[in-house]
Amino acid sequence: MASSSTDTRRLWGLYAGLVLAIGLLLSVAELQHYLARGGSHPWEPFLWELSSVLCGGLLGVAVYRWHVAGLALHSRWRQLGRHLLGAAAYILAHVSGMFAIRFGVYALMQVDYYTDSPIQVLAYEAGKDLVSYGFAVAICHGLYLSLQAQRLRGELAEARLARLAEQVQPHFLFNSLNLISATMYEDVAKADRLLCQLSDLLRQTLKAQQAGWHSLDEELRLVQPFLDLMQARFGGRLRVRVEASAAARACQLPALLLISPVENAVKHDVAASSAEVELLVAAQLQGQLLLIRVENSGIAPQRTEREGAFGLANLRERVLASFGSGAEVLLAPRAGGGAVLSLSLPLTGRLA
């Protein structure tokens, strides 16, 4: 939402700058002719041109809204009739506003201002304003198509992220049920307790999935019940540490981004090891990057991709869709044994 507001302000700023630049360029060009004709008030060309461009710029916003509202009309003839009406209103508003500004400034400067009769002025300005209105409609239509394309790209990206997030949950559920099934043959009471913890965890993941994005702190609080579940499964053989700075915890992330790498670390590196394993989830800011590590002392990966690594592929796709090519996901052996999964996320857009 904040990003959208910033984009809107930037768009309005660009538009105001463009209107001012056009007004100044026309004023400088008119000034040369004015001085060549022996004019004695150099501010007059600036008043003439800026009053015209300012009124045209303000009316451009109304033309955009008038044009977009008219697109709902399916008949081309009705759209043409609407634009003829709009052009007439544009001419009247532009001429009235422009001369109101000029008469006001001339009065303040105590300089006489002579013009042709209102009919002659309107006839002269109408020809130029019809051309201006046509250009304005063409530009507005191009802007409308550009904004529509941007909106559709945003909706497509959101749909893609939602699909990827939905893939995480069944994958996580199946793996957790398999772990609980293995426990059931050893300790029925513990398996029953694990099922209750899994039920609570699923309720939280559903709530997080509906939120879309939330803070790293909320993501870590979502991961914690899963870690509790796994510690109950593996007992004292699994030791867990979470280290994250306050600044890192405030950053925004797509919901359920961390559950998959943490789950994969348990499934591939903890469950496969017979020794005690320490699992570390760490996060910190470094310059314009949020760095997250999921590190364990279990089994070292043989390559940068795990066999059948759906979770890692899903994670990479979500990170790319959320943060672009500036983000990075790396899986590597850990010094002293085990594996390190590193996420490097740029502090841009929704992450900051």
pLDDT tens track for 68-82? 998 888 788 888 999
What DSSP element (H or E) covers 51? helix 43-70
Residue 71 burial (10 A CB sphere; 0-12, 13-18, 19+): exposed
State residue 294's pLDDT score: 92
- What span, in angstroms and rounded, lies between the C-alpha atoms of 131 and 134? 5
Best mean pLDDT range from 92-106, 197-211, 228-242, 269-283 = 92-106
Location of structure tokens 């993941």: 205
Residue 293's contacts (CB-CB under 8 Å, 6 or more residues apart) are 280, 281, 282, 283, 340, 341, 342, 343
State residue 164's pLDDT score: 58
The least confident of 29-38, 280-289, 342-351 is: 342-351
Cα–Cα nearest to 255, from 231, 304, 226, 219: 219
Mean pLDDT of the chain: 82
Confidence of residue 1 (pLDDT cuts 50, 70, 90): very low
Please state whether 347 falls in left (phi above 0), alpha (psi between -120 and 50) or beta: beta
The least confident of 140-144, 219-223, 271-275, 330-334 is: 271-275
Cα–Cα nearest to 225, from 254, 205, 250, 209: 205
Neighbours of 107 (CB within 10 A): 11
Residue 210 dihedral angles phi and psi, to the nearest 5°: -70, -30
Residue 210 burial (10 A CB sphere; 0-12, 13-18, 19+): exposed
Confidence of residue 39 (pLDDT cuts 50, 70, 90): confident
Contact indicator for 341, 324 with CB cutoff of 8 Å = no
The least confident of 134-143, 221-230, 251-260, 342-351 is: 342-351
DSSP state of 40: S
State residue 96's pLDDT score: 93
